[in-house]
Chains A and B, each alone.
Chain A
Amino acid sequence: MRDFEFEAPTTLDAAVALLAEHNGSARPLAGGTDLIDHIRTERLTPDVVIDIKKIPELNILEHSADGFRVGAAVCCSRIWGDETIRQRYSALADAASIIGGTQIQNRASVGGNICNAGPAADSTPALIALGATCVIAGPNGKREVPVESFCVSKGKTVLEPGELLVEFKFPARPAHSGSHYRRFIPRNEMDIAVVGVGASVTLDGETISDAQVSLGAVAITPLLAKEVSDALIGKPANDETYKAAGEVARSSINPITDMRGTREFRIHVTGVLVERVLREAVHRANS
Chain B
Amino acid sequence: MANKRVVTCTVNGREESFLCKPQQTLLEVLRDELELTGTKEGCSNGNCGACTVLMNGKPVVSCLVLAVECEGAELETIEGIADHGHLAPVQQAFLENAALQCGICTPGFIMSTKALLRENPNPTEQEIRFYLAGNLCRCTGYDKIIRAVQDAADHKIASN
Interface residues of A (CB under 8 A from B): 1-6, 8, 29, 31-33, 36-37, 39-41, 49, 51, 53, 77, 100-104, 106-107, 188-190
A-B contact pairs, 23 of them (CB 8 A): A2-B23, A4-B2, A5-B22, A6-B5, A6-B66, A6-B68, A8-B68, A31-B64, A32-B69, A33-B61, A36-B63, A36-B66, A37-B64, A49-B22, A101-B49, A101-B133, A101-B135, A102-B115, A102-B116, A102-B134, A106-B59, A107-B61, A190-B47
Chain B's interface: helix, strand, loop or mixed, by majority?
mixed
Q: A40-B44, A49-B22, A189-B130 are in contact. Are A103 and B61 (CB under 8 A)?
A: yes
Confirm or deny: B123 has a beta carbon within 8 angstroms of a beta carbon on chain A: no
Residues in A neighbouring B25, C-beta threshold 8 A = 1, 36
Considering the complex, give the chain B residue whose CB is closest to the CB of A81: B119
Q: Which residues of B approach A to under 8 Å, CB–CB?
A: 1-2, 5, 21-25, 44-47, 49, 52, 55, 58-61, 63-66, 68-69, 71, 112, 115-116, 129-135
Chain A, residue nearest B130 (CB) = A189
Are B46 and A104 touching (Cβ within 8 A)?
yes
Please indicate the chain B residues that have their CB under 8 angstroms from the CB of A31 in the complex. 64
Contacts of A49 in B (CB 8 A): 22, 66
Contact B131 A5 (CB under 8 A): no
Contact B22–A106 (Cβ < 8 Å): no
Known contacts being A32-B64, A106-B60, is A5 close to B112, with CB within 8 Å? Answer: no
A180 to chain B, nearest CB (A): 18
In the complex, what's the smallest C-beta–C-beta distance from A34 to chain B, in angstroms? 9
| Nearest 9 A/B pairs, CB to CB | A101-B134, A6-B22, A1-B23, A106-B58, A189-B133, A101-B133, A103-B61, A103-B134, A5-B2
Give A104 to B112 CA distance when docked, in angstroms: 12
The reply to whether B59 and A102 contact each other, CB–CB distance below 8 Å, is yes
Q: A35: nearest residue on chain B (CB-CB)? A: B64
Residues of B within 8 A of A40 (CB): 44-45
A4 and B49 within 8 A (CB): no
Contacting pair B134 A100 (CB below 8 A): yes
B61 touching A104, Cβ below 8 Å? yes
- Interchain CA distance A2-B66 in the complex, whole Å: 13
